Structure 1
């Protein structure tokens, strides 16, 4: 029976990945900060699907957390067949007025922890000549976004990094996919301190279940990336290639300004 490690598994897209994979008879290692939420989810999935679910409660914004997660899997004798780097957060606001520590924590979680986890589990997959990695990015990865400057940049990093790994690892039997969801029905807007009016204006919300279904389908097809969302969301990913940079940034600044 395969085993999937999912970060940010206590809610939103990560929780939906756990539920979907459990229904497909996949053992799980679920990682997030909230031990209570993870334990409740683990108990539910064990009872419903008769699978093994290991809980690792760690705050991946802490530099030592990835080492501790990896050490826990080694101590338990667990083999990770599917790594899902889902944990991440955003922060709305003009960069100069934002909390500097929070911006650094965002890069630590969205990028550093993702790279570190990938670097620890990918070599094992290459030796086995099997395995998959799903990195969760965003449609924000396709252009800079004023007032979400660090978040959009962090997701552009995830997209670029993942696509390069897709090319490097195909011949070793390892699949790498980056998923770029549009606005999704999660706590993202609240956690990112979005102004209520802007959050309400987010059009064409996708459910976490739709994101998971389309992602797993794209992984099976061997694709390098998948954009999940409304037609408007998918159109936004094309703008940077057809609109002059200054024009694009002026439009985005007006759209995202509170």
Structure 2
């Protein structure tokens, strides 16, 4: 009963109370003043985080691997809002070498908010059938980027005694996910990294937020037509980001979207073994859907 009460309170606080409050522009607060840096900023949730905070008046630094997309997103957002945008082309899958470039490009820029959004996933598949190259890239991007980019930017936030770090994790961290074994494990890393960091920087007036979405209708879930179609359980990136941004500065942990908060809380009530069993059954079906999706694409060519 206590667990049910705590879960309900968590949902109400992180996904219901905050959206009902009058939203204050981040530029009017000491905590969030200055520049927003977003990784994985040309698609999905990252792009919509950038758009939403540009709407609030923040200048942006967008980081992604495709120059053409960065230019397109920059032009799109600048045409909508009176903000300045700098973009940086890097491929986080290259590992350590990209961070010196990012540090040099950010020299002299006061970063107020860092959104560690970049990540990758593979179609549902058993580990033995996922290529080694894909696994190395997944681990390097999903865990390396959040760790090393935070390490690069954190000293300036500590020096100014203000800032916010937003880490995009996933509800998949809640239990092992067979057929997405490495991906779910990498998201558990982000959970523990975020919660440990939160305590480390609390005395420096730095806010760390862990965001754990469930399915969002983005290109990352292209293997599932049902998810891509969207709906109540599968918000699009625009709706999800607007909801998640409302919680920034008000809670250190959120699922970002009210339906996802309910799903997460209900799943958490079940024992780990039960959650893993149902996760296994779900992604077995999604694995078949992904195989069928690939087959259809191959038949088109």
The verdict on a shared fold, with TM-score over 0.5 as the criterion, is yes
Deviations 1:119-177 (A, max 9, x none): 11111101100001001011111111110111111111111111111122122110000
- Give the counterpart of 2:50 among 18, 21, 35: 18
Does residue 105 (structure 1) correspond to residue 134 (structure 2)? The answer is no
Deviation (angstroms), 1:208 = 1.7
Matched, 1:46 2:78: yes
Q: How many residues align?
A: 251
Structure 2 regions of 5+ residues with no counterpart?
A: 1-32, 289-301
1:68 alignment partner in structure 2? 101
Q: Which residue of 2 aligns with 1:55?
A: 87
Q: CA deviation at 1:236?
A: 4.1
- Which residue is equivalent to 1:249? 276
Hey, what does 1:208 align to over in structure 2?
237
**Structure 2-normalised TM-score?**
0.77
Q: CA separation in 2, counterparts of 1:2 and 1:240? A: 37
Structure 1 residues not aligned, in runs of 5+: none
Q: Once the 2 structures are TM-superposed, how far is the Cα of residue 24 of structure 1 from its aligned partner?
A: 1.1
The match for 2:118 is 87
**Closer/same/farther in 2, CA of residues 87 and 210 from structure 1, 3 Å limit:** same
- CA change 1:177–1:54 in 2 (3 A) is same
Residue 44 (structure 1) shift: 2.6
Instruction: Report the alpha carbon displacement of residue 186 of structure 1 after superposing the two structures with TM.
Output: 0.8
SS at match of 2:38: strand
Question: Are the structure 2 counterparts of residues 96 and 233 from structure 1 closer, same or farther at C-alpha, using a change threshold of 3 Å?
Answer: farther
Contact 1:182 1:230 in 2 (8 A): no
TM-score normalised by L of structure 1? 0.89
CA RMSD between the two structures: 2.2
Name the structure 2 match of 1:30: 62
Q: Hey, what's the Cα distance between the residues in 1 that align with 2:258 and 2:176?
A: 20
Equivalent of residue 254 in structure 2, options 226, 229, 237:
226
User: 1:188 Cα shift?
Assistant: 0.9
Report 1:168-207 matches (<5 A). 168-190=200-222, 194=223, 204-207=233-236
Distance 1:35 1:167, change over 3 A: same
**d(CA) in 2 for partners of 1:127, 1:105:** 33
Which of these two proteins has the greater Rg computed from alpha carbons? 2
Query: Where do 4+ consecutive residues of structure 1 move more than 4 Å?
Result: 195-203
